[in-house]
Amino acid sequence: MPLPDAEYLAKAHDLLARIEAQIDTWLDDDVVDIDTHRTGGLLELSLPGGSKIVINTQPPLQEIWVAARSGGYHFKWDGANWVNREGEEFCERLSRSVSEQAGQALTFKA
């Protein structure tokens, strides 16, 4: 069941803000050097070695899309979490993709 547009936008904005906050913490703690660039509902992560991961909100579909070296993933709100068609939770997938591309284990919390 679709969310009201304002609720979708609030949840999507909160997710992007939490990703940015986690990366800022890693930078402050000298864990990993990931640069972020955000334009509206698009967040680009520039990882060590020059690879990128792009996270993009899709308001008409009420989805969050992730483009990583391992592939493209679409997530919908299931009432509790952002999940893809395979049932994988957003932060699990993002953690896996960022870890692969950064060359070290990194975990985003749901």
Q: What local confidence, expressed as pLDDT, does residue 17 receive?
A: 96
Q: State the fold for domain 5-102.
A: Metal Transport, Frataxin; Chain A (3.30.920)
Ordered strands of the 82-83 beta sheet: 35-39, 42-46, 52-58, 63-68, 71-77, 82-83
Residues 6+ away with beta carbon under 8 Å from 50: none
Q: What local confidence, expressed as pLDDT, does residue 110 receive?
A: 74
Residue spans of the domains in the chain: they are 5-102
- Within 10 angstroms of residue 90's Cβ, the number of other Cβ atoms is 22
Tens digits of pLDDT across the chain (110 residues): 689 999 999 999 999 999 999 999 999 999 999 999 999 999 999 999 899 999 999 999 999 999 999 999 999 999 999 999 999 999 999 999 999 999 999 999 87
